[in-house]
Amino acid sequence: MTGLVAAPARVGRAAAEPPPEAFTEVELVWIEKQTEHWVRFGRERREQILDRRRRILFFPPGSVFALVRWAANEHGTVLSRLNILRTVERGAACQTVPTVTPGAEVLLHVDGWPKVERMLQLIDAIEARGIDPIDVSPDHWRHVHNRMTVGETPRGYGPRQHRAFLLRRRIGA
């Protein structure tokens, strides 16, 4: 049998953890210098290793993560993409994204290695300020997406903006 085998259910699962079918699955592939998919940031709840080259990460609803997909052939790079995604509840409206099941809300999408590299630098800059990219305001990721789409430099994300976002989130605004 060559299909995926379901992971055994855990006994005594924490009450706060969603049922396994509510998780968003992200299949990662790593074939050196040919197809490389990786998560730049994100907190997966579970991981399933399929073989030496493939694994599946499971993210609960509401998780934010960055998915990088790169592919090449004998002539060089043919695909460079970075998506920052937020997982949704099962059955909620979402965008389809390759390797992401059932899909997710796309907060940011860039194509081409120069833009992907710039995004990786922006993520590094946020981390250098002591801010976990998972906790960055979704509005900031949308802003960065819009600015990069039109070739403009996005505004930075600093501690003051982050604190304001965390306070807004705490009061439910």
The structure's pTM equals 0.85
Position 157 pLDDT exceeds 70: yes
Residue 127 neighbours by CB under 8 Å, 6+ apart:
133
Tell me the pLDDT band of 20, cut-offs 50, 70 and 90.
low
How confident is the model over 125-156, as pLDDT tens digits? 999 999 999 999 999 999 999 999 999 999 99
Query: Residue type at 76?
Result: G
32 and 72 Cβ atoms separated by less than 8 Å: no
Alpha-carbon distance of 46 to 36, in angstroms, equals 20
Mean pLDDT, the chain, integer:
90
The residue-averaged pLDDT of 74-86 equals 96
Alpha-carbon distance of 127 to 156, in angstroms, equals 12
b/e 117-154 (16+ beta carbons within 10 angstroms → b): ebbeebbeebeeeebebeebbeebbebbbeebeeeeeb
The residue-averaged pLDDT of 108-126 equals 97
pLDDT at 11: 45
The residue-averaged pLDDT of 37-46 equals 97
Position 46 pLDDT exceeds 50: yes
